[in-house]
Chains A and B, each alone.
Chain A
Amino acid sequence: MSLSPKNHWLALRATAIAAIPLSIWFVYSIVHISGTDYATFTTWLKQPLNAGLLILFIIITFWHASLGVHEIIEDYMHGKIKNISLKTKAIIFALLALVCVVAVFKVSQSQTQNSAGAAVETPAASNEIPAPKRRILRPQTSPDANEPTRVNND
């Protein structure tokens, strides 16, 4: 997806402007859910607004990053290596964004974990079910249940 210089310039600015509110929302959300457990995070991500904004944040910022790295490669690499690097870079960022969006969809679409958690998990994760299950079953409605589960318990 090599853009003309003019469109590259425009896309870099457009994604930059779009990334301003999305980044502020993202940092706010990270701080909000920092240190919470899996259940709290998935509950947060199951809210359509959060999933939608996260997907938007990923597409906009990964695209912006791809455009920015494009300029760095153009400045420091020349000839054949430059072209190979630009193509590789484009594929990497597109793949990363795709993987992230699929991951967000998977988490947000999965069934509520407390009833049939094992059934909806992927086979790869099946060996990890028993230990965290206690955490999954913890009621999420209690507001103060989130706070003591912060990460410094080790």
Chain B
Amino acid sequence: MASDSNRPLSPHLQVYKPQMTTIMSILHRATGAALAVGALLITWWLVAAAIGPGAYDVARNFAASPLGLFMLFGWSFCLYYHLFNGIRHLIWDTGYLFKIKNAYAAGWVVLALTAACTILTWVCAYGDKA
């Protein structure tokens, strides 16, 4: 560590054993950042619709391409994770779920709901196609 400053240093994260709570906290910020980038794609989609059918089809074809589908899948996962873990954070704001055991239990609920809703969404999107 460079010590060119007398400011106190953060804990050295690399010597910490990863824990579910820390990983989920980092993931909350990462998914939030990814969703912020997703705002660009929502803008593209709506602007394309405003321009006309040709531009809309370009956006639609991209969404149906392998890269587009991959991004949409990632977006849906990020949204559900950020949504459910955000609710976990809102509950923390009210003073509940602070016991280690409860914080972990709520974390598992968030992960289970994220997985279930992500899968359910894609089953619904493709279910009537098959």
A residues whose Cβ falls under 8 Å from a Cβ of B = 13, 16-17, 19-20, 23-24, 27, 31, 34-35, 37-39, 41-42, 45, 58, 61-62, 65, 68-69, 72, 93, 96, 99-100, 102-104, 106-107, 121-122, 124-125, 127-129, 131-133, 135-136, 147, 150-152, 154
Contact = CB atoms under 8 A, between A and B. Distances in A.
B32 A42 contact: no
Contacts of A68: 29, 32-33, 36
Contacts of A127: 54
B71 to A, nearest CB: 13
Given A16-B86, A38-B56, A125 B129 contact: no
Interface in B65-85: 76, 79, 83
Interface string B28-59: 01001101100110110011011111111100
Interface residues of B, number: 37
Contacts of B124: 31
A45 B33 CA distance: 28
Interface of chain A, main secondary structure: helix
A154 B58 CA distance: 13
18 contacts: A19-B83, A24-B83, A31-B124, A35-B64, A61-B35, A62-B39, A65-B32, A69-B33, A69-B36, A96-B40, A107-B46, A129-B53, A131-B53, A132-B53, A132-B54, A136-B53, A147-B128, A154-B64
